Chain A
Amino acid sequence: MDKKKKRLIFRSIVLAILAGTLVFVLIVNAGSERPSLQEGVEAPNFKLDRLDQEGESIELHDLRGQGVMVNFWATYCEPCKEEMPYMDQLYEEYQDQGIEIVAVSVDRNESVINNFYNRLDLTFPSTHDRNNTVMELYEVVNLPASFFIRPDGTIERIVRGPVTLESLEGYFNEIRPQ
């Protein structure tokens, strides 16, 4: 009967709206917890002043065409300091192949960064994220954290924790321009 059909349609619509609202709420809720930075998405742009070259700054966007490793570290983080020599060792070799390293220190004082840099005689660009804005932008909580960015500006790999010499070489080969 017509009436029966109407009733079924009405009930179906009400139930569908309620179920839809529930699914929507659950998705919104789940989305608020998941970090939005994932492998495959475009790496957010930033511009930081260089500590190793007075008056110079480095903007991620300008490095398009190169494979970029963005490394978050601090002098009070022991594992960060241990992976620095590996980065330096490979930098000499891979810089000519189109790999750039940006070390972003989240320390408070420039002097501690410079002290460490000079002591190890590191050659790749050193920057200082004074107010931790870039760190928050990249949703970094624990140090060290490294982002390997393809020449087209998208993230190839996120490494939370230290890298080894071997693994680092593998990551560099992933983002090396062809």
Chain B
Amino acid sequence: MSDQSIRCECGHLNKEGTILCEACGKPIEGNQHIDGNDEKHVLEMRYEGSARRSQTYKRTFVDKTWAFFSSVKVGVWLIVITVVLSALGTVYPQEQFKNSPLPSSQFYVEEYGLTGQIFYQLGFHNMYSSWWYITLVALIGVSIIIASIDRYVPLRRALNNQKTKRHEVFVKRQRLVSKDNELNEDGVNKLKENLKSRRYKVYEDDGHVMAEKNRFSRWGPYVNHIGLIIILLASIFRMFEVMHVDDYVWVREGETRVIPSTNQEYYVENTGFVYEEYDPETQQQFSRALEDVDEPVPKNFQTNAVIYRTTEETLPGQEPELEEVTRGEIRLNQPVTFDGYALYQAGTQLEAEYDSMSFDVQLNDEVLGEFTFYSDEAPPEFHLEESDIMVSVDDWYPELEFTENGPSSFSKFPRNPGLIFSVENPDTGDSERFFYLQEDIIPLSEDNELVMNVTGVDRRSASGLTVKKDNTLPLFGLGAGIFMIGVVQGLYWYHRRVWIHPKGEGVYHIGVHTNKNWYGMKQELEKITEDTNVQEFEDQQELK
């Protein structure tokens, strides 16, 4: 079959698959089943009865693919599937938030049982960056684009090609009609005048009158689809580090760490962590509220931070030269920002580590000297100058635990420090050994004459900061803005048309179409027909 056009009796050449003649609106024989006009009296006016090509040509593979994505039904199903899957992905935490040293293959089944295992095996633990989820979202985008092209083009054609002079059948089969009105010339003029005052554009051809307003409302859906496509593009851009960064770094008090996802360019120093609680004594206004709470109520988590930038590229492993970029106090929802990045307060290990432990050494109630062990430096020995005694650190276990092989350290972080000291007894010259653990000293021999005491400990907090950069937000804003313009355009204005069709001898049919809000249309018609003897309009919509 070749591309067959259909010539209407009005002379207009229509595309194959046209349902209502683009020019005069006469239903084209043989195509009425497409919009269901063969079973109803009122004509289906969506897309003006134009030939949606996707519903017509289905010969090649490309045409079939096109037709598939053009279908609104397919689009709705894609959205429903994506929505349901997106919801299921939130049932258990995603892999990156599972917060457990267990590998995912064990974590989900041990934490949540059978359903957890199903969740993991279906790949839902990594849903939002999985290839099939991205493909689903992309297919929605494809569906939006193709469906829009496939409807916008023929609709615009039909609206541009419409003639003032319509076929009688077209006018009489509109939903709102008033048939067989006997109007004189003044009556018709009064109608036109009323239409003009209602801001209709009035066209005339050979006694036929068409009045139309707010055609731009029909483009609303296509405008908001453009907005949606921009939003989808913005979400694609989020995959690139240039546009979007979301990372996490732990910084201990006094520590300077490289900020991840910045190409080793930026460093953050934690110069102090502040934790405050609500105090019923000093803040009387909270005392009543705090009476009912057993746990202290936190008021502030704050990191005093300094941001540095490397001045020149250094080889990895070498200490870089740093220059200060900015400094500030990071509190919840009050980030420090620099060069497009923002650091947010996101986690705390409150006083979880030991920064330093101070000791003194005594012999016969006489203090021989004092020293402080800083966990970051962990020097191998101390010299007590007062008495010229050497204290050597035989072993240092930042996070002490006892294994089959004796004491050992579980990690490098001083969360539960253990130390073994050897101190030389100045009287005997013997070496006496002591074990520090849990803020206490245990002599390792009963013969020890020296006495060691813990004189103080200093703890420190670790602060968890999220690193954020999002250059895609303006694009999301633009997309959302365009989307809203489309919504407003399509919802707050209505495309309305009135056809006055002369049957001859002063008898007129009047047909009316609006794309939505028929109630408003009826009210407007009362004003349009004011001071004329047009009969009441009949609503031909069949009740289902």
Q: Which residues of B contact A8 (CB under 8 A)?
A: 60, 62-63
Chain B residues with CB under 8 A of A48:
317-318
Whether B316 and A45, one on each chain, are in contact in the complex, defined by CB atoms closer than 8 angstroms, is yes
Contact B316 A1 (CB under 8 A): no
Residues A74 and B412 in contact, CB atoms below 8 Å apart = yes
Q: If the complex has contacts A26-B131, A111-B393, A133-B264, are A46 and B408 also in contact, measured as CB distance less than 8 A?
A: no
Min Cβ gap A89→B in Å is 21
Tell yes or no: B380 within 8 A of A by CB. Answer: yes
Query: Are B135's CB and A22's CB within 8 A?
Result: yes
Selected from A3, A15, A45, A109, the residue in CB contact (under 8 A) with B398 is: A109
**Contact bitstring B366-409, A, C-beta under 8 A = 1, else 0:** 00000000011111100000000000010110110000000011
Candidate in A11, A14, A107, A111 with the most chain B CB atoms within 10 angstroms: A11
Q: Does B315 contact A (CB under 8 A)?
A: yes
A130 CA to B411 CA, complexed, in Å: 15
Is there a chain B Cβ closer than 8 Å to A120's Cβ? Answer: no
Distance to closest chain A CB from B433 (angstroms): 15
Q: A15-B66, A133-B264 are in contact. Are A25 and B380 (CB under 8 A)?
A: no
Residues 51-64 of chain B, each 1 if its beta carbon lies under 8 Å from chain A, else 0:
00100010010110
CB distance from B124 to the nearest CB of A (A): 16
Q: Are A134 and B134 in contact (CB under 8 A)?
A: no
B437 contacts chain A at the CB level, 8 A cutoff: no
Residue of A nearest to B411 (CB): A76
A137 vs chain B, min Cβ distance (A): 5
Report yes or no: A109 in contact with B138, Cβ–Cβ below 8 A.
no
- Within 8 Å CB of A47, what residues of B? 315-318
Q: Considering the complex, which residues of chain A in the window 77-111 have a beta carbon less than 8 Å from any beta carbon of chain B? A: 78, 106-111
Chain B: residues with Cβ within 8 Å of the partner, total of 48
CB-nearest residue of chain A to B2: A1
Question: Which of B134, B393, B398, B399 is in CB contact (< 8 Å) with A29?
Answer: B134
Known contacts A12-B62, A75-B409; A108 and B317 CB within 8 A of each other = no
Say whether B65 contacts A15, CB under 8 Å.
yes
> A143–B498 Cα gap in the complex (Å)?
79
Indicate which residue in B149, B264, B378, B412 contacts A14 across the interface (CB closer than 8 Å): B149
A127 vs B4: C-alpha distance when bound (angstroms): 81
Residue numbers in B under 8 Å from A78 (CB-CB) = 408
Provide the bound-state CA to CA distance between A47 and B313, in Å.
13
Give Cα distance in the complex from A78 to B404, angstroms.
12
* Min CB gap B376→A, angstroms: 7
The residues of B that contact A134 with a CB separation of less than 8 Å are 316-317
Out of A15, A106, A109, name the residue touching B396 (CB < 8 Å): A109
Nearest residue in B to A12 (C-beta to C-beta)? B62
C-alpha spacing A90/B138, complex, angstroms: 55
Quote the shortest CB–CB distance from A108 to chain B (angstroms): 4
Minimum Cβ distance to chain A for residue B132 (Å): 10
How many of chain A's residues have a CB under 8 angstroms from any CB in B? 46
Most buried by A among B65, B316, B378, B412: B316
Is there contact, CB below 8 Å, between A11 and B399?
A: no
Interface flag for A112 (CB, 8 Å): yes
Q: Establish whether residues B62 and A11, one from each chain, have CB atoms under 8 Å apart when the complex forms.
A: yes
Contact, CB under 8 Å: B380 / A14: no
- Closest-by-CB residue of B relative to A130 is B319
Choose among B53, B258, B317, B378 the residue that contacts A111 (Cβ–Cβ < 8 A).
B378
**CB <8 Å contact, A30 and B3:** no
**Do B138 and A21 touch (CB < 8 A)?**
yes
CA distance A26 to B66 in the complex (A): 22
A32 touching B315, Cβ below 8 Å: no
List the B side residues contacting A14 at CB < 8 Å: 145-146, 149
B199 to chain A, nearest CB (A): 37
Do A26 and B315 have beta carbons less than 8 Å apart?
A: no
| Residues on the B chain within 8 Å of A30, using CB | 131
| Chain B residue nearest to A24 in the complex (CB) | B236
| Interface set, chain A 2-54, CB cutoff 8 A to B | 3-4, 7-8, 11-12, 14-15, 18, 21-22, 25-26, 28-30, 32-33, 44-48
Contact status B239-A29, CB under 8 Å: yes
Contacts of A12 in B (CB 8 A): 62
- List CB contacts (< 8 Å) of B139-166 with chain A: 141-142, 145-146, 149
A residues in contact (CB < 8 Å) with B: 1, 3-4, 7-8, 11-12, 14-15, 18, 21-22, 25-26, 28-30, 32-33, 44-48, 59, 74-76, 78, 106-112, 114-115, 127, 129-131, 133-134, 136-137
Task: Show 10 A/B contacts (Cβ-Cβ < 8 Å), sorted by A.
Answer: A11-B63, A21-B236, A22-B134, A46-B315, A48-B317, A109-B376, A109-B378, A109-B412, A111-B380, A112-B398
6 shortest interchain CB distances as A-B pairs: A109-B378, A47-B315, A48-B317, A46-B317, A108-B412, A46-B316
